[in-house]
């Protein structure tokens, strides 16, 4: 078994050139104490009704004896598990840890909108989710304890899986590399690279995954946009056509008329990308609040006891070129006519409006109206400080 290359992740040029989307490697990561969770804190998140949690039991003897359950989980769910061979995995944990940005920021040489979430797993001794591939890139940072990772050569998307089990486990896994990660060590795994992590004693892992929409997801989004914007009068039209002699035949002119209709369904690629990439991972249950008015928003912007910022689930991105500026928030697009890029950039990355941003928003009616819409849709919130 070979060792994986150890890289300096801060050498961004080298990492992007040699490893990103290409080859696995290991590196030293930043995992501050404040961003780490105790196992019972993770179990607390897994008990939340809107959490996305999974319990995976690894077979002890029989190869096929995988058991998988979906959360939320209560204390009794763990009682039956025993001391070894299981893993609790929770997605979207960044929404619950205030200092998650400290983990994310080390990867800001990649677009933040490409990031999916922080998934945290607790594994009992010998716990593993099995050898598998993911469609996403992932950085897995080791928290408390140790895990042994074995890595293989990339496999095809249709590689055979163990049949009739609820877990995606490769039927054949031929590892070529191995590494044991201790606290603060990390591994980068590109899409379709088989990997298997096995816990040595109890251990915690923090995975930063990257979202990459598939062609069919992009087409679905495109179709949704066309569906929402197309007029019933936009349809096939053959006004001025000549009488046909072959009544069952589609002629070249008929085909061209269809091409003209389909041409009307053009959607800008940045809109499809922005909307797909800003769709929230999970939305926590929110208290029902009545909509606020523009007057109330103006008062809130002046009130030092109120903070205005994005909700925990909110994802934002923007696009700009010579003709337009578009901001994307939780899967919707907003065209802006009167905003500086630097202002939108700050808005997309802030955790709450600070003094200068409040002043800018207050003086920009377009942005103020947008903020009001976001607040009333639950994308942003006024929070008491
Ligand atoms: C884990 O955290 O146990 C699994 C992560 C992965 O393999 O993607
Ligand atoms: Co994986």
Q: How far apart are CA 306 and CA 39, in angstroms?
A: 33
Q: How far apart are CA 364 and CA 367, in angstroms?
A: 5
pLDDT tens-digit series, residues 201-231 = 999 999 999 999 999 999 999 999 999 999 9
Q: Which chain residues have CB less than 5 Å from ligand 2, an ion?
A: 134
The CA 383 to ligand 1 mean position distance, Å, reads 34
Coil/strand/helix, residue 150:
strand
The CA 337 to ligand 1 mean position distance, Å, reads 44
Coil/strand/helix, residue 81:
coil
* Cis omega (within 30 of 0) for bond into 72: yes
For ligand 1, pick from 89, 148, 152 the residue to mutate: most ligand atoms within 8 Å of CB.
89
Q: Supply the pLDDT for residue 20.
A: 98
CA 209 to ligand 1: nearest atom: 8
CA 205 to ligand 1: nearest atom: 2
Residue 12's φ and ψ, nearest 5 degrees, are -60, -40
- CA 331-333-337 angle, 5° bins: 155
CA 120 to ligand 1: nearest atom: 2
CA 196 to ligand 1: nearest atom: 7
Which residue lies with its CA nearest to atom 1 of ligand 1?
121
Q: Supply the pLDDT for residue 61.
A: 85
CA 127 to ligand 1: nearest atom: 3
CA 189 to ligand 1: nearest atom: 8
Whole-model pTM? 0.94
Of all ligands present, the nearest one to the C-alpha of 197 is 1
Q: What residues does ligand 1 touch, defined as CB less than 6 Å away? A: 87, 89, 121, 123, 129, 134, 138, 140, 195, 197, 205, 207
Q: How far apart are CA 383 and CA 385, in angstroms?
A: 6
The CA 192 to ligand 2 mean position distance, Å, reads 9
pLDDT, one tens digit for every residue, the chain (385 residues): 899 999 999 999 999 999 999 999 999 999 999 999 999 999 999 999 999 999 999 999 877 889 999 999 999 999 999 999 999 999 999 999 999 999 999 999 999 999 999 999 999 999 999 999 999 999 999 999 999 999 999 999 999 999 999 999 999 999 999 999 999 999 999 999 999 999 999 999 999 999 999 999 999 999 999 999 999 999 999 999 999 999 999 999 999 999 999 999 999 999 999 999 999 999 887 777 899 999 999 999 999 999 999 999 999 999 999 888 999 999 999 999 988 999 999 999 999 999 999 999 999 999 999 999 999 999 999 999 8
The CA 207 to ligand 2 mean position distance, Å, reads 9
CB atoms within 10 A of CB 103: 22
Q: How far apart are CA 277 and CA 272, in angstroms?
A: 8
Which residue lies with its CA nearest to atom 5 of ligand 1?
207
128: DSSP letter:
-
User: Do 178 and 1 form a contact (C-beta atoms < 8 A)?
Assistant: yes
Q: At what angle do helices 341-349 and 355-362 cross, to 10 degrees?
A: 130
Which residue lies with its CA nearest to atom 2 of ligand 1?
121
CA 119 to ligand 1: nearest atom: 2
Instruction: Give the closest residue to 325 by CA, choosing from 311, 313, 343.
Output: 343
The CA 261 to ligand 2 mean position distance, Å, reads 43
For ligand 1, pick from 123, 197, 206, 210 the residue to mutate: most ligand atoms within 8 Å of CB.
197
The CA 35 to ligand 2 mean position distance, Å, reads 21
């Amino acid at each position: 078994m070979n060792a994986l290359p150890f890289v300096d992740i801060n050498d961004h040029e080298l990492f992007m050139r040699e490893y990103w989307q290409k080859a696995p490697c290991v590196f030293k990561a930043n995992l501050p104490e404040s961003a780490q969770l105790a196992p019972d804190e993770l179990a607390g998140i897994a008990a939340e009704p809107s959490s996305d949690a999974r319990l995976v039991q690894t077979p002890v003897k029989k190869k096929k004896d995988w058991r998988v359950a979906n959360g939320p989980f209560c204390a009794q769910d763990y009682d039956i598990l025993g001391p070894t061979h299981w893993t609790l995995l929770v997605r979207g944990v960044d929404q619950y840890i205030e200092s998650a940005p400290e983990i994310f920021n080390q990867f800001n040489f990649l677009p933040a909108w490409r990031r999916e979430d922080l998934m945290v797993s607790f594994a009992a001794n010998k716990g593993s989710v099995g050898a598998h591939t993911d469609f996403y890139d992932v950085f897995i940072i080791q928290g408390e304890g140790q895990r042994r990772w074995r890595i293989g050569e990339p496999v095809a998307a249709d590689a055979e899986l163990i049949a009739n089990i609820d877990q995606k486990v490769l039927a054949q896994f031929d590892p070529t590399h191995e590494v044991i990660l201790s606290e603060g060590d990390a591994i980068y795994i590109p899409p379709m690279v088989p990997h298997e992590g096995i816990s040595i004693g109890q251990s915690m892992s923090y995975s930063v995954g990257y979202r990459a929409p598939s062609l069919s997801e992009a087409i679905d989004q495109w179709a949704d946009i066309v569906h929402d914007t197309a007029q019933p009068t936009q349809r096939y039209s053959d006004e001025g056509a000549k009488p046909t002699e072959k009544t069952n035949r589609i002629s070249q002119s008929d085909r061209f008329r269809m091409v003209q209709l389909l041409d009307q369904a053009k959607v800008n690629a940045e809109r499809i990308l922005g909307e797909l990439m800003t769709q929230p991972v999970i939305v926590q249950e929110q208290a029902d609040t009545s909509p606020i008015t523009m007057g109330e928003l103006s008062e809130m912007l002046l009130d030092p006891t109120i903070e205005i910022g994005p909700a925990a689930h909110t994802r934002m991105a923007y696009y700009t070129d010579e003709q337009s500026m578009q901001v994307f928030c939780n899967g919707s697009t907003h065209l802006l006519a009167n905003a500086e890029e630097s202002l939108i950039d700050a808005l997309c990355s802030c955790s709450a409006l600070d003094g200068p941003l409040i002043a800018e928003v207050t003086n920009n009616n377009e942005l103020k109206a947008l903020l009001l819409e976001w607040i009333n849709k639950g994308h942003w919130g006024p929070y008491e400080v």
